[in-house]
C-alpha cells in the first residue's frame, strides 16, 4: 500500500477557488443516481488539497437543489460542509439558479404579473430596470417576489450569502494578499424566473452590477458569479459589456457544457455541471479549480489566472484532470496589479472640499455613478452627507471612482492626476 503524501500548506502567492455548479441535490436519497458524483468530488478534493494546499474559496454557481425544497438544501449543506473540512476550511459562496426556485410558489396570478412585467420585450433596459426596482421597493411586492426562494435564502444565510429585496445580490471580500482583495459579487439571475424560463427571458438589471468596482482599482480584483449565461438575459449584451470591462473572472453555470472565454479583463468560465441530468445526450460531470498566482518582481505584482478542469471518468469511477495534472499555461491570462498606495490625509481633504462645492443634485449623481449606496446617505442631515460619502467610499475601496466622478461634475476636461 502506497503511503499518502502529506497535505501541503497553501503557497503564500497562490489563491485558489474550487468552482462547482448545477449540483442538483434531490429530495429522495434512495433514488439518487448522482451519489457517486458527489462522493467522487469529496475523494477528488483530497488530491486537490495535496497538490495545491488549502483552497481559499468554494464557489457554487447555482442550482444547488433540484426543486427548491428544504430537504434538498439539507443534503447540499451536508455535502458542502464535508467538502469544507477536506479542503482546509475555505469560504463557501453560493448563488441561486432556476432549480432553486420553488415553482409552485410562482403560479399565482399576482406572481405572474410581477414576473412578466419587467420582461416585456418592448421595454428598454432602463424601463425594465425601473419596473423591477419598483417591485422590489414595494414592501409587500418585494417580499412576495422572493417567496419562491424562501428555502434557498435560509440555506444561503449560513454562508453569509443571503439577500433581500432592497439589495438582491451580495458582495464579499476575501484577501488574496496583504495588498490585494478578491471582491466577489453574487448576482441573482432568477428574480423573475418561473415555468416560462427560456433564452432572453430573465433579467439582472443594473442595480446588481453598476457598483462593481472598475478595472483600474489597484487594491481589488472584481469577480462575479451568475447562474445564467448572457444569452438567457434580456439585458445580457449590456451586462456582458460591463462585466467584461470590470471583472477579472466571471463564472456562470446553467449550460451543462464547459467553455473558457477570454475577456478584456481576464476570463469568463462557463463551468459545466457537477451533477447533470443523466438523460442528457453525452452528459458530463465537471469541477474546476481556478488559481490566481501573485508573481512579484521589482515591487510590482503580476497575477496569473488559470483554470484547471477535471471531469468524471466513467471507466475509472473517479474525477481526473482533463489535460493531465495542472501545469502553467493552461487557459491562463496575465493580470496586472501594483502595490496599494497609501492614502494621504491631504488628498482626502482635497476630495472633501471638491465634493462639498457640488450642489445636492450633483452629489446625488456622483454617489450613484461612483457605486455608493445613496438611500443610506439620503437619510442623513445635509451637513453629514459629504463625510458619509467619503467614509462609504473608503469602505468600498471606491475613493478613486469618487474622485473621477467629482472632477467630471466640476466639468474638468483636463482632469488632474487621480491621487487614489
Question: CA distances (Å), 247 to each of 84, 221, 304, in order?
Answer: 26, 7, 14
Which of these three, 311, 337, 363, is where a domain ends? 337
| Residue 159 Cα distances to 77, 91, 105, 342, angstroms | 10, 8, 24, 32
pLDDT of residue 214: 83
Residue 182 CA, chain-centre distance (Å), reads 11
Classify residue 6: in a domain, yes or no: no
Q: Are residues 293 and 377 in the same domain?
A: no
Final residue belonging to a domain, choices 280, 308, 337 = 337
Q: Do residue 323 and residue 369 come from a single domain?
A: no
Query: How do the pLDDT tens digits run along the chain, 420 residues long?
Result: 333 334 444 555 789 999 999 999 998 766 667 789 999 999 999 999 988 888 999 999 999 999 999 999 999 999 999 999 999 999 999 999 999 999 999 999 999 999 999 998 888 888 999 999 999 999 999 999 999 999 999 999 999 999 999 999 999 999 887 778 899 999 999 999 999 888 888 999 999 999 998 877 778 899 999 999 999 999 999 999 999 999 999 999 999 989 899 898 899 999 999 998 888 888 899 999 999 987 766 666 678 888 999 999 999 999 999 876 664 434 445 665 554 455 678 888 888 888 898 888 788 778 877 767 766 777 788 888 888 888 888 876 678 778 878 887 887 655 567 787
- Both 355 and 323 in one domain: the answer is no
The pLDDT assigned to 4 comes to 37
The alpha helices in 226-371, defined as continuous H runs, are 236-246, 345-356, 360-369
| Tally of structural domains, the chain | 2
Mapped onto helix, strand or coil, the DSSP state of residue 185 is strand
Where does a domain end: 308, 337, 366?
Answer: 337
Distance of alpha carbon 392 from alpha carbon 386, whole angstroms = 10
The per-residue pLDDT for 347 is: 84
Q: Is residue 333 domain-shared with residue 355, that is, in the same domain?
A: no
Q: List all residues 6 or more positions away from 365 whose beta carbon is below 8 Å from its beta carbon.
A: 405, 409
Query: Do 274 and 353 belong to one domain?
Result: no
The bridge status of strand 318-321 relative to strand 300-313 is antiparallel
Q: Is 126 helix (H, G, I), strand (E, B) or coil?
A: helix
CA-based nearest residue to 174, from 166, 162, 182, 164: 182
- Domain range for 293: 14-337
Task: Identify the pLDDT of residue 366.
Answer: 81
Q: What is the DSSP letter of 9?
A: P
**DSSP 8-state code for residue 23:** -
Q: Name the residue among 15, 62, 346 with its Cα closest to residue 181.
A: 15
Mark whether 219 and 362 lie in a shared domain. Answer: no
Q: Give me the pLDDT at residue 297, please.
A: 64
Amino acid at each position: 500500500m502506497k503511503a499518502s503524501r502529506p497535505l501541503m500548506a497553501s503557497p503564500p502567492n497562490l489563491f485558489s477557488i474550487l468552482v462547482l455548479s448545477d449540483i442538483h441535490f434531490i429530495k429522495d436519497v434512495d433514488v439518487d443516481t448522482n451519489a457517486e458524483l458527489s462522493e467522487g468530488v469529496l475523494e477528488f478534493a483530497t488530491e486537490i488539497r495535496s497538490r495545491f494546499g488549502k483552497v481559499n474559496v468554494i464557489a457554487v454557481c447555482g442550482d444547488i437543489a433540484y426543486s427548491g425544497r428544504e430537504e434538498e438544501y439539507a443534503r447540499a449543506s451536508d455535502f458542502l460542509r464535508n467538502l469544507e473540512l477536506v479542503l482546509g476550511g475555505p469560504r463557501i459562496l453560493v448563488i441561486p439558479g432556476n432549480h432553486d426556485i420553488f415553482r409552485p410558489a410562482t403560479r399565482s396570478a399576482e406572481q405572474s404579473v410581477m414576473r412578466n412585467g419587467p420582461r416585456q420585450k418592448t421595454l428598454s433596459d432602463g424601463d425594465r430596470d425601473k419596473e423591477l426596482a419598483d417591485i422590489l421597493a414595494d414592501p409587500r411586492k418585494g417580499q412576495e417576489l422572493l417567496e419562491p426562494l424562501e428555502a434557498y435564502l435560509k440555506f444561503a444565510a449560513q454562508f453569509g450569502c443571503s439577500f433581500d429585496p432592497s439589495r438582491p445580490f451580495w458582495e464579499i471580500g476575501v484577501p488574496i494578499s496583504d495588498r490585494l482583495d478578491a471582491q466577489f459579487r453574487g448576482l441573482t439571475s432568477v428574480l423573475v424566473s418561473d415555468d416560462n424560463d427560456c433564452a432572453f427571458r430573465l433579467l439582472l438589471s443594473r442595480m446588481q452590477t453598476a457598483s462593481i468596482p472598475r478595472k483600474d482599482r489597484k487594491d481589488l480584483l472584481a469577480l462575479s458569479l451568475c447562474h445564467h449565461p448572457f444569452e438567457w438575459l434580456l439585458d445580457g449584451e449590456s451586462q456582458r459589456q460591463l462585466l467584461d470591462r470590470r471583472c477579472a473572472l466571471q463564472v456562470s453555470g446553467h449550460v451543462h457544457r464547459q467553455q473558457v472565454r477570454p475577456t478584456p479583463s481576464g476570463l469568463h468560465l462557463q463551468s459545466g455541471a457537477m451533477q447533470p441530468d443523466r438523460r442528457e445526450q453525452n452528459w458530463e460531470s465537471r469541477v474546476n479549480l481556478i488559481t490566481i498566482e501573485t508573481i512579484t518582481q521589482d515591487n510590482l505584482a503580476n497575477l496569473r489566472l488559470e483554470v484547471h478542469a477535471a471531469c468524471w471518468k466513467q471507466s475509472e469511477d473517479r474525477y481526473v484532470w482533463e489535460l493531465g495534472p495542472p501545469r502553467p499555461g493552461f487557459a491562463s491570462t496575465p493580470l496586472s496589479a501594483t502595490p496599494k498606495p497609501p492614502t494621504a490625509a491631504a488628498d482626502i481633504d482635497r476630495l472633501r472640499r471638491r465634493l462639498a462645492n457640488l450642489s445636492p443634485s450633483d452629489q446625488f449623481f456622483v454617489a450613484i455613478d461612483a457605486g455608493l449606496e445613496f438611500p443610506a446617505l439620503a437619510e442623513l442631515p445635509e451637513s453629514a452627507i459629504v463625510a458619509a460619502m467619503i467614509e462609504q467610499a473608503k469602505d468600498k475601496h471606491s475613493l478613486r471612482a469618487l474622485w473621477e466622478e467629482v472632477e467630471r461634475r466640476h466639468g474638468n476636461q483636463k482632469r488632474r492626476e487621480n491621487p487614489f
